[in-house]
Amino acid sequence: MIKLLWNTEYQNLPDPNNPTKQDLVDNKWGIYHKKNSDRWIFNILKNVKFNIIDDEKKLKKEDILIIVDSSPEKKKEFYIKLKLACNKIFLIHLGDESGILDLSSIYDGFNFVWRSFCLRRFFDNKKVKCIPIGYKSGVHLNKEIKKKYKWSFIGTPHRSSRHDLLFQLSQIKPSFCHITKKFNEKIIDSLEMSKVLSSTEFIPCPNGFFHPETYRLYEALECGCIPIVENAFQYYDRLFPNNPFIKVDKWIDAKSIIKDWNEEQINKKRKECQLWWHKYQKQLQEDILNTITL
Amino acid sequence: MKDSKLDKIEIFIKEQKISEAQFELSKLGKEYEKNPDYLFLRGKVFYLNRLYYAAIDALLIALEFEKNNKIYNLIAEIYGVIGNNELKKKIMDLNLRSEAIKSLKEQLYGIYRK
């Protein structure tokens, strides 16, 4: 039997009397990943028939175990114990945007690892496959809504790219902007976000704080928008060869596309993106099933 | 520059050996993170690799440690390339540059401030 242990929110709980800064951070992120990534992860595991367990005591020797975690480096001993208690063990590693830690000794303990936020060392890695960070739970396409915005941006202008994006595109109307000062602060809820994205033609997807990937790209795809990504480090071409995204080195290059593309060009690109996204997810679901059941 | 490793990188850049410069930069450790010459060279290499925003971010951090003409000028040049000529002009102007950079940094919540 295949079993899944979602372990992101079960971090080493900080000692209430003497919490370390890192424990508090990991705990916060663990809860964040459970809240925001469960729909995406269950989607990519769609073809796998599994039971969710919340206790390792429910594990049998012949079982295959899938772990979902955002701080596996803190639970090395626990995962060694689990590996001995079952037939095969797989890890879906969420988070780790900065990629600072060397996780090879942790990853070695698993039969196979899928991780978000790809890094150079994980492209073409036989033991580790990079997966998209996906969309936040609750964001979905509202099919009945018309595309009333040319572009929209929801997020924090933390560095020069986002600042320039807003400078370059601000004259193009109609648009929707919701600017926050801090990550995950005063954000709009997923229902409202779904409405806005479903009403938008182009979504500029600037790089994240540490890493090029953000949820924004996958939310755009999920809501039938055309994503415009930064071409820095050719990240998306390496992660998704032959992807149909519009790529720019500087946001001024996106200006004429958003402003001047006619309906036919927009519809063609939108369909191309939707088809690609659908095929990509299907292939990923199959690949995961094959790896687990091989 | 006062550092032979950084001198070597600067020579690579002058000779248009950008990959070599990039490789040498990647070998430098944390002790260089607050070195304005190092940050300037990082910015320059990013710029030459058309990573305009990474270049601006590195140069804005460099200005936290040293207010230097070559840093201001390179930021201005990059803003020209990315199509913000208004900001380019302000940063090129000796009387306006300091205020322009201050105002820019106030809008960028994720840029390191001393």
- For A161, the closest chain B residue by CA position comes to B53
Q: Give start-end residues of each CATH 3.40.50.2000 domain in chain A.
A: 149-278
Residues of chain A positioned with their CB less than 8 A from the CB of B83: 168, 250, 252
The answer to whether B82 contacts A233, with C-beta atoms less than 8 Å apart, is no
A26 has a chain B CB within 8 A of its CB: no
Long-range contacts of A32-38 (CB under 8 A, 24+ apart): A32/A184, A33/A8, A33/A9, A33/A70, A33/A94, A33/A95, A34/A6, A34/A8, A34/A9, A35/A137, A36/A136, A36/A137, A36/A215, A37/A8, A37/A94, A37/A133, A37/A134, A37/A136, A37/A137, A38/A6, A38/A137
When CB atoms are compared, the residue of A159, A168, A206 closest to B108 is A159
* Residue type at position B61: I
pLDDT at A12: 57
Determine the pLDDT at residue A182: 75
Phi, psi for A2 (deg, rounded to 5)? -95, 130
Please provide the DSSP assignment of A48-112 as one string.
---EEES-GGG--TT-EEEEEES-GGG-HHHHHHHHHHSSEEEEEE---SS--S--HHHHTTSSE
Mutate: best of A120, A160, A214, partner B, most B CBs <10 A: A160
What residue type is B102 in one-letter code? K
Q: What is the pLDDT of residues A161-174, one digit of tens each?
A: 999 999 999 999 99
Domains in chain B (CATH in brackets) are 4-107 (1.25.40)
Chain A residues whose CB is inside 8 A of the B108 CB are 157-160, 163
- For residue A4, the model assigns a pLDDT of 97
pLDDT greater than 90 at residue A109 = yes
Which pair of structure tokens corresponds to residue A265?
């060009």
Q: What fold, for A149-278?
A: Rossmann fold (3.40.50)
- What is the rounded CA–CA span in Å between residue A41 and residue A96? 16
pLDDT level of residue B15 (50, 70, 90 thresholds): very high
Q: What pLDDT does residue A83 have?
A: 95
pLDDT tens digits, one per residue of A48-77 = 999 999 888 889 999 999 999 999 998 899
- Between chains, do B83 and A249 touch, taking CB under 8 Å as contact? no
Q: Average pLDDT in the A12-41 region?
A: 82
Check whether A14 has a pLDDT greater than 60: no
Q: Is A172 on the interface with B (CB under 8 A)?
A: no
Q: In which band, very low, low, confident or very high, does the pLDDT at B48 lie, cut at 50, 70 and 90?
A: very high
pTM of the model: 0.93
pLDDT at position B83 = 97
Q: From CA A185, how far away is CA A208, in angstroms rounded?
A: 16
Tell me how close the Cα of B11 comes to any Cα of chain A, in angstroms. Answer: 24
Q: For residues B28 and B5, what is the distance between their CA atoms, to the nearest angstrom? A: 9
* Stretch 96-155 of chain A: residues touching chain B, C-beta under 8 Å: none
pLDDT at A118: 95
Higher pLDDT, B63 or A184: B63
**Predicted ipTM?**
0.94
* Amino acid A11: pLDDT: 59
Task: Tell me: pLDDT of A258 over 90.
Answer: yes
